[in-house]
Amino acid sequence: MARPLQCAPYARDHSAINLHGNAATWWSQAEGAYARGNVPREGSVLVFKASGAIPVGHVAVVKSIVDERHVVLNHANWSRPGMIETSAMAEDVSAQGDWSSVRVWYAPTRSMGLRSSPAFGFIYAPGTDAPQQPAGASDSFQAAFATLPAQG
């Protein structure tokens, strides 16, 4: 019987980041190999820290940027084992606006998750420098969220 798809192989296959192992180790593995930062960029990988709810961390690929506090993610194994989610909203809920605490769309409740998850930040594609200023987008959060397809 095949094992459910995990987030790390999914992120590796859908980004330009070639790291292996538990998702929580990607941040330290990326040091010196990839630019890292706390500003989202399309194609970057958001790295979540290990916590009680996500013991090996989590990684997700940034599909698009809505505004400096909202991005759309593609990822696997978040809402249920092996489930691939495209166009999942994520919200920076950190007090500093640095993406150190994130809430993510949770398909079983068809809403933003109730808990926030700690995150390291973003790993950027090779040849890409870390952005110096917050990235913005012309679409509003409400408009982008309303156009997301139902998942589940």
16 within domain boundaries: yes
Count: domains in the chain: 1
30 within domain boundaries: yes
| Domain coverage including residue 42 | 7-146
- The continuous run of DSSP H or E covering 20 comes out as none
Give the predicted TM-score (pTM) of the model: 0.85
70 within domain boundaries: yes
What is the rounded CA–CA span in Å between residue 82 and residue 58?
A: 13
What's the pLDDT score for residue 127?
Answer: 83
What is the rounded CA–CA span in Å between residue 91 and residue 104?
A: 6
152 within domain boundaries: no
Of 89, 59, 90, 64, which Cα lies nearest the Cα of 75?
A: 59
151 within domain boundaries: no
Confidence of residue 130 (pLDDT cuts 50, 70, 90): low
Contact at 8 Å (CB) between 87 and 71? Answer: no
pLDDT in tens, 76-112: 999 999 999 999 999 999 999 999 999 999 999 999 9
CATH code for the domain of 89? 3.90.1720.10
141 within domain boundaries: yes
Question: CA dist 118 to 5, 34, 45, 48, Å?
Answer: 22, 21, 15, 6
The pLDDT of 113-133, averaged and rounded, is 86
63 within domain boundaries: yes
34 within domain boundaries: yes
